Structure 1
Amino acid sequence: MTLKTTGKVLAVLSLSTLTACMSTSSGPYLKSSMSEGVGPLEVRAPYANYVNYYGYVDASVKPEGKYKGKDTYYLYAWVPAAVDEIGISMQSPVESKPTEKDFVHNNFAPGMEKDKAKFFDTYIVFDRMNIIDSSKIAQGGKVLQPLGYNDDTRELPANPSGSYYNSLLRQTTNLSNPTESLVRGVYRISFTSFRSQVEGSFEATIGTNIPGVKIAASLEELHKLVNTGNL
Protein backbone atom coordinates (compact mmCIF):
# COMPACT_ATOMS: atom_id res chain seq x y z
CA MET A 1 0.00 0.00 0.00
CA THR A 2 1.45 3.39 -0.99
CA LEU A 3 1.76 6.36 1.34
CA LYS A 4 -0.86 8.21 -0.67
CA THR A 5 -3.32 5.33 -0.40
CA THR A 6 -2.61 4.98 3.32
CA GLY A 7 -3.40 8.65 3.81
CA LYS A 8 -6.74 8.25 2.07
CA VAL A 9 -7.63 5.22 4.16
CA LEU A 10 -6.76 7.06 7.37
CA ALA A 11 -8.86 10.02 6.28
CA VAL A 12 -11.87 7.78 5.65
CA LEU A 13 -11.39 6.04 9.00
CA SER A 14 -11.14 9.38 10.77
CA LEU A 15 -14.33 10.60 9.15
CA SER A 16 -16.09 7.36 10.01
CA THR A 17 -15.06 7.86 13.62
CA LEU A 18 -16.38 11.41 13.38
CA THR A 19 -19.72 10.12 12.14
CA ALA A 20 -20.02 7.84 15.16
CA CYS A 21 -19.18 10.75 17.46
CA MET A 22 -21.73 12.99 15.78
CA SER A 23 -24.51 10.62 16.77
CA THR A 24 -24.09 11.86 20.35
CA SER A 25 -22.74 15.37 19.80
CA SER A 26 -23.09 17.64 16.77
CA GLY A 27 -20.09 19.77 17.72
CA PRO A 28 -19.51 23.21 16.23
CA TYR A 29 -21.49 24.13 13.12
CA LEU A 30 -18.34 25.30 11.36
CA LYS A 31 -16.58 22.29 9.80
CA SER A 32 -13.58 21.99 7.47
CA SER A 33 -13.63 21.41 3.71
CA MET A 34 -12.49 17.81 4.21
CA SER A 35 -15.51 15.57 3.73
CA GLU A 36 -16.54 12.02 2.98
CA GLY A 37 -19.80 10.51 1.84
CA VAL A 38 -21.37 8.31 4.49
CA GLY A 39 -24.46 6.70 3.01
CA PRO A 40 -26.71 9.48 1.73
CA LEU A 41 -24.90 12.05 3.89
CA GLU A 42 -21.77 14.12 3.38
CA VAL A 43 -19.82 14.37 6.63
CA ARG A 44 -17.34 17.19 7.13
CA ALA A 45 -14.43 16.80 9.54
CA PRO A 46 -14.13 19.37 12.36
CA TYR A 47 -11.11 21.64 12.65
CA ALA A 48 -8.57 20.75 15.32
CA ASN A 49 -8.93 24.16 17.01
CA TYR A 50 -11.66 26.75 17.32
CA VAL A 51 -11.78 30.28 18.71
CA ASN A 52 -15.02 32.21 19.29
CA TYR A 53 -15.69 35.92 19.56
CA TYR A 54 -18.92 37.23 21.09
CA GLY A 55 -20.01 40.76 20.30
CA TYR A 56 -22.98 43.08 20.30
CA VAL A 57 -23.49 46.04 17.97
CA ASP A 58 -25.69 48.96 18.98
CA ALA A 59 -25.51 52.75 18.65
CA SER A 60 -22.47 52.88 20.95
CA VAL A 61 -20.38 50.80 18.52
CA LYS A 62 -19.31 53.00 15.64
CA PRO A 63 -18.68 51.56 12.14
CA GLU A 64 -15.04 51.44 11.12
CA GLY A 65 -15.35 51.52 7.37
CA LYS A 66 -17.50 51.02 4.29
CA TYR A 67 -18.00 47.97 2.11
CA LYS A 68 -19.99 48.53 -1.08
CA GLY A 69 -21.51 51.60 0.52
CA LYS A 70 -22.57 49.84 3.74
CA ASP A 71 -21.33 50.54 7.27
CA THR A 72 -18.76 47.91 8.16
CA TYR A 73 -17.17 46.64 11.38
CA TYR A 74 -13.86 44.83 11.84
CA LEU A 75 -12.42 41.93 13.78
CA TYR A 76 -8.72 41.05 13.65
CA ALA A 77 -7.17 37.59 13.94
CA TRP A 78 -3.58 36.55 14.63
CA VAL A 79 -2.55 33.26 12.97
CA PRO A 80 0.80 32.18 14.50
CA ALA A 81 1.95 29.77 11.77
CA ALA A 82 1.28 28.72 8.20
CA VAL A 83 -1.98 26.81 7.98
CA ASP A 84 -3.70 24.60 5.42
CA GLU A 85 -7.14 26.14 5.85
CA ILE A 86 -9.01 28.82 7.78
CA GLY A 87 -12.76 28.58 8.31
CA ILE A 88 -14.86 31.53 9.47
CA SER A 89 -18.51 31.73 10.41
CA MET A 90 -20.74 34.44 11.85
CA GLN A 91 -24.12 33.81 13.41
CA SER A 92 -26.71 36.31 14.67
CA PRO A 93 -28.33 36.29 17.15
CA VAL A 94 -26.12 34.42 19.63
CA GLU A 95 -27.58 31.09 20.75
CA SER A 96 -24.79 29.87 23.05
CA LYS A 97 -23.03 31.21 26.13
CA PRO A 98 -19.36 32.27 26.12
CA THR A 99 -16.88 30.12 28.01
CA GLU A 100 -13.68 31.16 29.76
CA LYS A 101 -11.75 30.32 26.58
CA ASP A 102 -13.80 32.63 24.37
CA PHE A 103 -13.12 36.27 23.50
CA VAL A 104 -15.97 38.56 24.54
CA HIS A 105 -16.47 42.25 23.70
CA ASN A 106 -17.26 44.55 26.65
CA ASN A 107 -20.52 45.51 24.97
CA PHE A 108 -21.80 41.93 24.77
CA ALA A 109 -23.27 41.44 28.25
CA PRO A 110 -24.99 44.88 28.46
CA GLY A 111 -26.37 44.44 24.96
CA MET A 112 -27.78 41.00 25.72
CA GLU A 113 -29.44 42.35 28.86
CA LYS A 114 -31.03 45.13 26.85
CA ASP A 115 -32.27 43.05 23.89
CA LYS A 116 -30.93 39.52 23.42
CA ALA A 117 -33.36 38.82 20.56
CA LYS A 118 -31.98 41.55 18.29
CA PHE A 119 -30.19 40.15 15.21
CA PHE A 120 -28.97 41.06 11.74
CA ASP A 121 -28.21 39.43 8.40
CA THR A 122 -24.47 38.78 8.45
CA TYR A 123 -22.11 39.32 5.51
CA ILE A 124 -18.40 38.59 6.07
CA VAL A 125 -15.25 39.47 4.13
CA PHE A 126 -11.83 37.92 4.82
CA ASP A 127 -8.64 39.90 4.08
CA ARG A 128 -4.93 39.36 4.58
CA MET A 129 -3.03 42.24 6.19
CA ASN A 130 0.64 43.12 5.78
CA ILE A 131 1.50 42.43 9.45
CA ILE A 132 3.65 39.35 10.03
CA ASP A 133 5.67 40.46 13.08
CA SER A 134 3.69 39.93 16.29
CA SER A 135 5.64 42.66 18.09
CA LYS A 136 4.39 45.25 15.56
CA ILE A 137 0.66 44.49 15.51
CA ALA A 138 -0.22 47.68 17.42
CA GLN A 139 1.62 49.77 14.83
CA GLY A 140 -1.09 48.91 12.35
CA GLY A 141 -0.93 48.03 8.69
CA LYS A 142 -2.98 47.80 5.55
CA VAL A 143 -4.98 45.17 3.73
CA LEU A 144 -2.68 43.28 1.38
CA GLN A 145 -5.36 41.37 -0.49
CA PRO A 146 -8.97 40.14 -0.20
CA LEU A 147 -9.22 36.38 0.24
CA GLY A 148 -12.94 35.57 0.33
CA TYR A 149 -16.46 36.55 1.32
CA ASN A 150 -19.82 34.95 2.12
CA ASP A 151 -23.39 36.12 2.59
CA ASP A 152 -25.78 33.20 3.20
CA THR A 153 -25.31 29.53 4.08
CA ARG A 154 -27.53 26.59 4.99
CA GLU A 155 -24.71 25.06 7.05
CA LEU A 156 -25.57 27.38 9.93
CA PRO A 157 -28.94 27.57 11.70
CA ALA A 158 -31.63 29.86 10.31
CA ASN A 159 -32.17 33.14 12.10
CA PRO A 160 -35.43 33.73 14.05
CA SER A 161 -37.19 34.83 10.85
CA GLY A 162 -36.58 31.37 9.38
CA SER A 163 -34.10 32.66 6.78
CA TYR A 164 -30.61 31.19 6.29
CA TYR A 165 -28.85 34.54 6.39
CA ASN A 166 -25.84 33.61 8.54
CA SER A 167 -22.40 33.42 6.92
CA LEU A 168 -19.62 30.85 6.52
CA LEU A 169 -16.51 30.69 4.39
CA ARG A 170 -13.48 28.42 4.07
CA GLN A 171 -10.17 29.64 2.71
CA THR A 172 -7.60 27.02 1.74
CA THR A 173 -3.92 27.66 1.10
CA ASN A 174 -2.34 27.43 -2.34
CA LEU A 175 1.28 26.31 -2.00
CA SER A 176 1.97 26.94 -5.70
CA ASN A 177 0.97 30.60 -5.41
CA PRO A 178 2.58 32.64 -2.59
CA THR A 179 -0.13 35.31 -2.79
CA GLU A 180 -2.75 32.68 -1.93
CA SER A 181 -0.78 30.93 0.81
CA LEU A 182 -2.13 31.18 4.35
CA VAL A 183 0.98 32.26 6.24
CA ARG A 184 1.69 33.56 9.74
CA GLY A 185 0.28 37.03 10.28
CA VAL A 186 -2.77 39.20 10.89
CA TYR A 187 -6.03 38.74 9.01
CA ARG A 188 -9.08 41.00 9.05
CA ILE A 189 -12.71 39.91 9.17
CA SER A 190 -15.06 42.65 8.00
CA PHE A 191 -18.77 42.27 8.62
CA THR A 192 -21.81 44.18 7.47
CA SER A 193 -25.39 43.54 6.34
CA PHE A 194 -27.18 44.12 3.07
CA ARG A 195 -30.72 43.35 4.28
CA SER A 196 -30.81 45.30 7.54
CA GLN A 197 -28.84 47.52 9.87
CA VAL A 198 -25.97 45.88 11.75
CA GLU A 199 -27.58 45.74 15.17
CA GLY A 200 -27.71 42.92 17.70
CA SER A 201 -25.59 40.04 18.98
CA PHE A 202 -23.21 37.92 16.96
CA GLU A 203 -20.82 35.00 17.42
CA ALA A 204 -17.81 34.83 15.11
CA THR A 205 -15.93 31.51 14.96
CA ILE A 206 -12.55 30.75 13.42
CA GLY A 207 -11.53 27.15 12.78
CA THR A 208 -7.97 26.04 12.02
CA ASN A 209 -5.77 23.00 12.46
CA ILE A 210 -3.19 24.87 14.55
CA PRO A 211 -3.39 26.23 18.11
CA GLY A 212 -2.75 29.80 19.21
CA VAL A 213 -5.14 31.81 17.01
CA LYS A 214 -6.29 35.03 18.73
CA ILE A 215 -9.15 37.35 17.80
CA ALA A 216 -9.97 40.91 18.90
CA ALA A 217 -12.00 43.97 17.90
CA SER A 218 -8.95 46.19 17.34
CA LEU A 219 -5.27 45.87 16.50
CA GLU A 220 -4.39 47.36 19.89
CA GLU A 221 -6.40 44.66 21.69
CA LEU A 222 -4.96 41.96 19.44
CA HIS A 223 -1.42 43.16 20.18
CA LYS A 224 -2.01 42.80 23.93
CA LEU A 225 -3.58 39.36 23.55
CA VAL A 226 -0.75 38.03 21.42
CA ASN A 227 2.14 39.59 23.32
CA THR A 228 0.96 39.65 26.93
CA GLY A 229 -1.86 37.09 26.99
CA ASN A 230 -4.53 39.55 28.17
CA LEU A 231 -6.24 42.82 27.28
Structure 2
Amino acid sequence: MKTKNVIAIALLVIGSLVSANAQKLSKFGGLTEKKIGPKTIKVPYTDMISYLGYAAPGNEDETKDGKKFYYIYVWIPAVAPELGVRMMSPVGKTKIKKATKSKAYADNASSKEYFDTYITLERSDIFSKDKISEAAVSSAKWTVLERNDDSSEMPKQPSGSKYNSLLRYKSEVSNPEKALSVGLYRIGFTTYKRGEVKGTFLAQVGAPIKLPGVVMAKTIEDLKKGL
Protein backbone atom coordinates (compact mmCIF):
# COMPACT_ATOMS: atom_id res chain seq x y z
CA MET A 1 0.00 0.00 0.00
CA LYS A 2 1.39 3.41 -0.93
CA THR A 3 2.42 5.81 1.83
CA LYS A 4 -0.12 8.42 0.67
CA ASN A 5 -2.95 5.91 1.00
CA VAL A 6 -1.81 4.91 4.49
CA ILE A 7 -1.75 8.56 5.57
CA ALA A 8 -5.18 9.19 4.07
CA ILE A 9 -6.70 6.21 5.90
CA ALA A 10 -5.06 7.28 9.17
CA LEU A 11 -6.53 10.78 8.81
CA LEU A 12 -9.99 9.33 8.18
CA VAL A 13 -9.75 7.16 11.30
CA ILE A 14 -8.57 10.08 13.43
CA GLY A 15 -11.35 12.26 12.02
CA SER A 16 -14.00 9.69 12.88
CA LEU A 17 -12.69 9.37 16.43
CA VAL A 18 -12.70 13.14 16.91
CA SER A 19 -16.24 13.47 15.58
CA ALA A 20 -17.38 10.70 17.92
CA ASN A 21 -16.02 12.57 20.92
CA ALA A 22 -17.15 16.03 19.80
CA GLN A 23 -20.65 15.90 18.39
CA LYS A 24 -21.26 18.99 16.30
CA LEU A 25 -24.48 20.81 17.12
CA SER A 26 -26.05 22.88 14.37
CA LYS A 27 -27.87 26.14 15.09
CA PHE A 28 -31.17 25.53 16.84
CA GLY A 29 -33.91 26.80 14.53
CA GLY A 30 -37.60 27.22 15.19
CA LEU A 31 -40.73 26.55 13.17
CA THR A 32 -40.33 29.76 11.14
CA GLU A 33 -38.53 29.11 7.86
CA LYS A 34 -36.58 31.47 5.62
CA LYS A 35 -35.37 30.93 2.07
CA ILE A 36 -31.71 31.81 1.48
CA GLY A 37 -30.78 31.22 -2.14
CA PRO A 38 -31.66 27.62 -3.06
CA LYS A 39 -31.89 26.54 0.59
CA THR A 40 -34.75 26.85 3.08
CA ILE A 41 -33.57 27.11 6.67
CA LYS A 42 -35.28 27.27 10.05
CA VAL A 43 -34.69 30.71 11.56
CA PRO A 44 -32.42 30.19 14.63
CA TYR A 45 -33.84 30.85 18.07
CA THR A 46 -32.65 34.21 19.39
CA ASP A 47 -32.76 33.11 23.04
CA MET A 48 -31.14 29.94 24.34
CA ILE A 49 -30.45 28.44 27.76
CA SER A 50 -28.31 25.33 28.22
CA TYR A 51 -27.93 22.77 31.00
CA LEU A 52 -25.21 20.12 31.36
CA GLY A 53 -26.11 17.15 33.54
CA TYR A 54 -25.44 13.53 34.34
CA ALA A 55 -28.12 10.88 34.82
CA ALA A 56 -27.51 7.79 36.94
CA PRO A 57 -29.64 4.82 38.03
CA GLY A 58 -31.34 5.40 41.37
CA ASN A 59 -31.63 9.17 40.87
CA GLU A 60 -34.77 9.09 38.76
CA ASP A 61 -37.65 11.37 39.79
CA GLU A 62 -40.52 9.07 38.85
CA THR A 63 -41.34 5.72 37.27
CA LYS A 64 -44.07 6.21 34.70
CA ASP A 65 -45.44 3.58 32.31
CA GLY A 66 -42.58 1.33 33.38
CA LYS A 67 -39.93 3.91 32.46
CA LYS A 68 -37.63 5.82 34.78
CA PHE A 69 -38.20 9.55 34.23
CA TYR A 70 -35.90 12.42 35.19
CA TYR A 71 -36.99 16.06 35.22
CA ILE A 72 -35.34 19.41 34.62
CA TYR A 73 -37.47 22.34 35.82
CA VAL A 74 -37.76 25.55 33.80
CA TRP A 75 -39.27 28.86 34.90
CA ILE A 76 -40.62 30.82 31.92
CA PRO A 77 -41.10 34.49 32.97
CA ALA A 78 -43.00 35.77 29.92
CA VAL A 79 -45.52 34.67 27.32
CA ALA A 80 -43.72 32.84 24.49
CA PRO A 81 -45.02 32.18 20.96
CA GLU A 82 -42.92 29.03 20.66
CA LEU A 83 -40.41 26.90 22.55
CA GLY A 84 -37.89 24.35 21.33
CA VAL A 85 -36.17 21.67 23.40
CA ARG A 86 -33.31 19.41 22.41
CA MET A 87 -31.19 16.87 24.25
CA MET A 88 -27.91 15.21 23.35
CA SER A 89 -26.05 12.37 25.08
CA PRO A 90 -23.15 12.07 25.65
CA VAL A 91 -21.75 15.60 25.88
CA GLY A 92 -18.24 14.38 25.12
CA LYS A 93 -15.91 17.19 24.05
CA THR A 94 -18.71 19.43 22.78
CA LYS A 95 -18.18 22.99 24.01
CA ILE A 96 -21.26 24.95 25.10
CA LYS A 97 -20.98 28.62 26.05
CA LYS A 98 -22.69 29.94 29.19
CA ALA A 99 -24.16 26.56 30.12
CA THR A 100 -25.34 25.78 33.64
CA LYS A 101 -23.24 22.85 34.85
CA SER A 102 -24.64 20.58 37.54
CA LYS A 103 -22.34 19.11 40.18
CA ALA A 104 -23.20 15.64 38.87
CA TYR A 105 -21.93 16.70 35.43
CA ALA A 106 -18.76 18.25 36.85
CA ASP A 107 -18.03 15.01 38.71
CA ASN A 108 -18.67 12.84 35.62
CA ALA A 109 -17.74 15.08 32.67
CA SER A 110 -15.20 12.58 31.34
CA SER A 111 -17.73 9.73 31.31
CA LYS A 112 -18.25 8.08 27.93
CA GLU A 113 -21.60 6.60 28.93
CA TYR A 114 -24.71 7.77 27.09
CA PHE A 115 -28.36 6.88 26.60
CA ASP A 116 -31.03 6.86 23.89
CA THR A 117 -32.81 10.12 24.76
CA TYR A 118 -36.59 10.50 24.85
CA ILE A 119 -37.92 13.93 25.90
CA THR A 120 -41.17 15.66 26.81
CA LEU A 121 -42.08 19.31 27.32
CA GLU A 122 -44.62 19.69 30.13
CA ARG A 123 -46.47 22.67 31.58
CA SER A 124 -47.76 22.90 35.15
CA ASP A 125 -50.67 24.81 36.61
CA ILE A 126 -48.24 26.90 38.71
CA PHE A 127 -48.21 30.41 37.25
CA SER A 128 -46.48 32.39 40.02
CA LYS A 129 -42.92 31.83 41.21
CA ASP A 130 -44.12 32.58 44.75
CA LYS A 131 -46.20 29.39 44.59
CA ILE A 132 -43.25 27.14 43.74
CA SER A 133 -42.40 24.58 46.44
CA GLU A 134 -41.63 20.86 46.60
CA ALA A 135 -45.16 20.15 47.84
CA ALA A 136 -46.82 22.34 45.20
CA VAL A 137 -44.81 20.76 42.39
CA SER A 138 -45.57 17.20 43.51
CA SER A 139 -49.31 17.92 43.56
CA ALA A 140 -49.38 20.13 40.44
CA LYS A 141 -51.24 19.20 37.28
CA TRP A 142 -48.77 18.59 34.46
CA THR A 143 -49.79 18.73 30.79
CA VAL A 144 -47.54 17.16 28.14
CA LEU A 145 -47.32 19.69 25.31
CA GLU A 146 -44.97 17.79 23.01
CA ARG A 147 -42.59 14.83 22.94
CA ASN A 148 -39.83 13.39 20.78
CA ASP A 149 -37.70 10.27 20.58
CA ASP A 150 -35.24 10.36 17.66
CA SER A 151 -34.44 13.42 15.54
CA SER A 152 -32.57 13.38 12.23
CA GLU A 153 -31.56 16.99 12.95
CA MET A 154 -29.44 15.99 15.94
CA PRO A 155 -25.86 14.62 15.89
CA LYS A 156 -25.31 10.88 15.83
CA GLN A 157 -24.39 9.13 19.04
CA PRO A 158 -21.06 7.22 19.23
CA SER A 159 -22.95 4.09 18.14
CA GLY A 160 -23.70 5.80 14.82
CA SER A 161 -27.44 5.96 15.49
CA LYS A 162 -29.40 9.22 15.52
CA TYR A 163 -31.00 8.64 18.91
CA ASN A 164 -30.76 12.22 20.22
CA SER A 165 -33.98 14.24 20.56
CA LEU A 166 -35.48 17.56 19.46
CA LEU A 167 -38.97 19.01 19.70
CA ARG A 168 -40.67 22.30 18.89
CA TYR A 169 -43.96 23.51 20.26
CA LYS A 170 -46.08 26.45 19.12
CA SER A 171 -48.37 28.07 21.68
CA GLU A 172 -52.12 27.44 21.32
CA VAL A 173 -53.42 30.79 22.52
CA SER A 174 -57.07 29.72 22.24
CA ASN A 175 -56.50 26.80 24.64
CA PRO A 176 -55.43 27.86 28.19
CA GLU A 177 -53.98 24.41 28.91
CA LYS A 178 -51.84 24.47 25.75
CA ALA A 179 -50.77 28.12 25.75
CA LEU A 180 -47.16 29.06 26.53
CA SER A 181 -47.94 31.45 29.35
CA VAL A 182 -45.81 32.55 32.31
CA GLY A 183 -45.26 29.58 34.59
CA LEU A 184 -43.35 26.51 35.68
CA TYR A 185 -42.44 23.95 33.03
CA ARG A 186 -40.32 20.84 33.02
CA ILE A 187 -38.38 18.75 30.55
CA GLY A 188 -38.95 15.07 31.17
CA PHE A 189 -36.38 12.62 29.86
CA THR A 190 -35.85 8.89 29.82
CA THR A 191 -34.94 6.23 27.24
CA TYR A 192 -37.28 4.99 24.54
CA LYS A 193 -36.81 1.40 25.65
CA ARG A 194 -37.31 0.39 29.26
CA GLY A 195 -34.05 0.28 31.13
CA GLU A 196 -31.48 2.36 32.96
CA VAL A 197 -30.71 5.96 32.08
CA LYS A 198 -27.00 6.64 32.52
CA GLY A 199 -24.61 9.19 31.04
CA THR A 200 -23.84 12.85 30.47
CA PHE A 201 -26.34 15.01 28.62
CA LEU A 202 -26.90 18.50 27.26
CA ALA A 203 -30.42 19.96 27.44
CA GLN A 204 -31.28 23.23 25.69
CA VAL A 205 -34.42 25.37 25.59
CA GLY A 206 -34.76 27.91 22.78
CA ALA A 207 -37.26 30.69 21.99
CA PRO A 208 -37.73 33.06 19.03
CA ILE A 209 -37.89 36.08 21.36
CA LYS A 210 -35.79 37.24 24.29
CA LEU A 211 -37.09 35.85 27.59
CA PRO A 212 -35.16 37.61 30.36
CA GLY A 213 -35.17 35.68 33.62
CA VAL A 214 -35.51 32.10 32.37
CA VAL A 215 -34.20 29.69 35.03
CA MET A 216 -33.34 26.04 34.42
CA ALA A 217 -32.42 23.59 37.20
CA LYS A 218 -32.52 19.90 38.05
CA THR A 219 -34.18 20.42 41.43
CA ILE A 220 -36.82 22.76 42.80
CA GLU A 221 -34.35 23.88 45.46
CA ASP A 222 -31.80 24.97 42.85
CA LEU A 223 -34.54 26.53 40.70
CA LYS A 224 -35.70 28.72 43.58
CA LYS A 225 -32.12 29.90 44.18
CA GLY A 226 -32.06 31.27 40.65
CA LEU A 227 -35.43 33.06 40.76
User: TM-score, length-normalised on structure 2?
Assistant: 0.80
Mind listing any 5+ residue stretches in structure 2 that lack a counterpart?
Answer: 1-23
- SS of the aligned residue for 2:91 comes to coil
- SS of the aligned residue for 1:177 comes to coil
CA distance in 1, matches of 2:90, 2:25: 18
| Cα distance per residue 1:79-108 (max 9 Å; x no partner) | 001000010000001142354x32111110
- SS of the aligned residue for 1:174 comes to coil
Preserved CA contact (<8 Å) 1:98 1:104? no
- SS of the aligned residue for 1:212 comes to coil
Who is 1:5 aligned against? none
Amino acid at match of 2:218: A
CA distance in 1, matches of 2:42, 2:168: 12
Task: Determine whether 1:131 maps to 2:154.
Answer: no
Who is 1:197 aligned against? 196
> What is the RMSD of the two structures over their aligned residues, measured on CA atoms?
1.9
Who is 1:8 aligned against? none
1:41–1:143 Cα change, 3 Å: farther
Identity %: 36
| Cα distance per residue 1:105-136 (max 9 Å; x no partner) | 111021123x2x21110000111112111122
Paired residues in the alignment total: 197
Preserved CA contact (<8 Å) 1:30 1:88? no
Preserved CA contact (<8 Å) 2:25 2:155? no
Larger radius of gyration: 2
Amino acid at match of 1:167: S
Who is 2:115 aligned against? 120
Who is 1:174 aligned against? 172
Stretches of 4+ aligned residues off by more than 4 angstroms: none
Who is 1:221 aligned against? 222
Which stretch has the larger CA shift, 136-145 or 215-224? Answer: 136-145
Preserved CA contact (<8 Å) 1:128 1:187? yes
Which stretch has the larger CA shift, 143-152 or 30-39? Answer: 30-39
Amino acid at match of 1:43: I
Task: Determine whether 1:74 maps to 2:74.
Answer: no
Who is 1:206 aligned against? 205
Mind listing any 5+ residue stretches in structure 1 that lack a counterpart?
Answer: 1-25, 227-231
- SS of the aligned residue for 1:33 comes to strand
Preserved CA contact (<8 Å) 1:84 1:182? yes
After superposition, where does 1:93-112 map in structure 2 within 5 Å?
Answer: 93-95=90-92, 96-99=94-97, 101-112=98-109
- SS of the aligned residue for 1:32 comes to strand
